[in-house]
Amino acid sequence: MERIMTNRLDRAFERYQSEFEEAALRVLRGSRYILGPELESFEKAFAAYNGASYCMGVGNGLDALTLACRALGVGEGREVIMQGNTFIASALAVSAAGGTPVFVEPDAYYLPDPEAIEARITEKTVAVIAVHLYGQTARMDELSELCKRRGLKLIEDCAQSHGARCGSRMSGTIGDIGCFSFYPTKNLGAFGDGGAVITDNEEYARRIRRLRNYGSEQRYHNKELGVNSRLDDIQAALLSVRLSHLDELTAERREAAAVYDAGIENPKIIKPAVREGAEHVYHQYVIRCAQRDELQAYLAERGIDTIIHYPIPPHLSEAYAHLGYRKGDLPVTEEYADTVLSIPMYNGITRAEQEQVIGALNEF
Ligand SMILES: *Cc1c(COP(=O)(O)O)cnc(C)c1O
């Protein structure tokens, strides 16, 4: 039997192949490759899809977060609070903007815990980053109430939550700024690096548009120290194709998740729970198991690849040794790092592949 990999990007490509090829050729045959019409039309479409006033395409998700931090005043001596169990890019963005990330424990859904965040607010805190981890939306009502009450900015890290709703609104539109990655494996993936920022605030939009283009609004007139971080037109054209199918792609992931939910029944395995009022778009289907490493090896022997998101939480990574965290400082975060396992979840996964995964999990 063919090995079941953690991801199969070829499946969704093949499904829309002629549309992707047409879009790519249209850009190649045109003469505008950067800051051209394809970027503009993708930005319009993505803003409209989310119900946001502005969208700025940038080079990748880390840059989206970094520019958002800069636009919101994160800098030297300023702190930004986030859940400890996130991809390190959420924290690197704060550092790149000159600030300091502060890590707190997540809730039982792997999501930001408003109480834990509030307990760590100091006079240095300027913002909170809420990560909709694995594709489930965070408690945005509580988080935005908290941030308003304490005078903090709220950034949403939506790198895993394209198309996920919090109540009636899309993730990315509830905080001050929403940041997206279009890394190829994300739910809305490009064919290379890409990212975007959405906001309803005209001033933030203008600032980010300027920062991504050397700090200039008018060519060779540089108002501030910007960067070069733009979404290429070819990626924008390809993303427009995928965006037009995003709702069906999301529905397919949710159906695949329901198959796992119904099929996996092993008392050693904790399945993902969805909080009442949240929506889950299953960027990852993450289980937890006390014997995680044995389980991963067991599955590998049976031809099933899995991945750990994430084995080393940022507060324990070498890169953040200077912050002085010790093992044991964030026991829940660390327990998640030791027990989580992402099983195969991608568009185009077949029922037979899922049955094989379920069978192996239940036999373990
Ligand atoms: C992927 C990801 C990022 C970074 O996006 P890149 O485009 O790879 O830079 C940031 N935060 C989270 C939660 C992610 O999953």
Q: If you measure from the C-alpha of residue 363 to the centroid of ligand 1, how many angstroms do you get, rounded to a whole number?
A: 34
Q: In the predicted model, is pLDDT for residue 108 greater than 80?
A: yes
Q: In the predicted model, is pLDDT for residue 53 greater than 90?
A: yes
Domain residue ranges of the chain, discontinuous segments joined by +: 10-244, 246-363
> Which residues are paired to 335 by β-bridges?
none
Structure tokens at 168: 């009636």
Q: How many CA atoms lie within 13 A of 256 on its CB side?
A: 25
Q: What is the mean pLDDT of residues 240-268?
A: 98
Q: Confidence class of residue 190 from pLDDT cuts 50, 70 and 90?
A: very high
- How far apart CA 31 and CA 12 sit, in angstroms, is 28
- How far apart CA 60 and CA 190 sit, in angstroms, is 10
Q: If you measure from the C-alpha of residue 31 to the centroid of ligand 1, how many angstroms do you get, rounded to a whole number?
A: 30
Q: What is the mean pLDDT of residues 304-322?
A: 98
b/e burial code for range 125-160 (CB count within 10 A of at least 16 → b): bbbbbbbbbbbbbbbbeebbebbeeeebbbbbbbbb
Q: Choose the residue to mutate in 161, 181, 193 for probing ligand 1, maximizing ligand atoms within 8 Å of C-beta.
A: 181
- How far apart CA 89 and CA 44 sit, in angstroms, is 26
Structure tokens at 27: 């850009």
- Nearest ligand 1 atom to the CA of 183 is 7
Q: In the predicted model, is pLDDT for residue 52 greater than 80?
A: yes
Report the predicted TM-score, pTM, of the whole model to 2 decimal places: 0.98
Asked if residue 346 lies in contact with residue 8, where contact means CB atoms within 8 angstroms, the answer is yes
Q: If you measure from the C-alpha of residue 30 to the centroid of ligand 1, how many angstroms do you get, rounded to a whole number?
A: 30
Taking only the tens place, the pLDDT of each residue in 223-241 is 999 999 999 999 999 999 9
Asked if residue 1 lies in contact with residue 336, where contact means CB atoms within 8 angstroms, the answer is no
Q: Atom 4 (ligand 1): residue with closest C-alpha?
A: 61
- Nearest ligand 1 atom to the CA of 86 is 13
Q: In the predicted model, is pLDDT for residue 1 greater than 80?
A: no
Q: Atom 7 (ligand 1): residue with closest C-alpha?
A: 61
* pLDDT confidence of residue 123: 98
- Nearest ligand 1 atom to the CA of 89 is 10
Average pLDDT, the chain: 98
Taking only the tens place, the pLDDT of each residue in 76-105 is 999 999 999 999 999 999 999 999 999 999
Asked if residue 278 lies in contact with residue 108, where contact means CB atoms within 8 angstroms, the answer is no
> CA 254, 258, 261: angle at the middle one, nearest 5?
135
- How far apart CA 81 and CA 130 sit, in angstroms, is 9
- Nearest ligand 1 atom to the CA of 283 is 15
Q: If you measure from the C-alpha of residue 354 to the centroid of ligand 1, how many angstroms do you get, rounded to a whole number?
A: 26
- Nearest ligand 1 atom to the CA of 65 is 10
Q: In the predicted model, is pLDDT for residue 194 greater than 80?
A: yes
Q: Choose the residue to mutate in 63, 88, 90 for probing ligand 1, maximizing ligand atoms within 8 Å of C-beta.
A: 90
Q: Choose the residue to mutate in 183, 232, 340 for probing ligand 1, maximizing ligand atoms within 8 Å of C-beta.
A: 183
- How far apart CA 345 and CA 284 sit, in angstroms, is 6
Taking only the tens place, the pLDDT of each residue in 154-165 is 999 999 999 999
CATH architecture, domain defined by 246-363: Alpha-Beta Complex (3.90)
- How far apart CA 107 and CA 335 sit, in angstroms, is 12
Q: How many CA atoms lie within 13 A of 85 on its CB side?
A: 28
Give percent of the chain above pLDDT 90.
99
Pick the CATH number of 10-244 from 3.40.640.10, 3.90.950.20, 1.10.10.10, 3.90.1640.10: 3.40.640.10
Q: If you measure from the C-alpha of residue 255 to the centroid of ligand 1, how many angstroms do you get, rounded to a whole number?
A: 24
Neighbours of 81 (CB within 10 A): 24
- Enumerate residues lining ligand 1, CB below 6 A: 60-62, 86-87, 89-90, 131, 157, 159-160, 181, 183, 193, 195
Query: At which residue do the structure tokens 């490759």 appear?
Result: 33
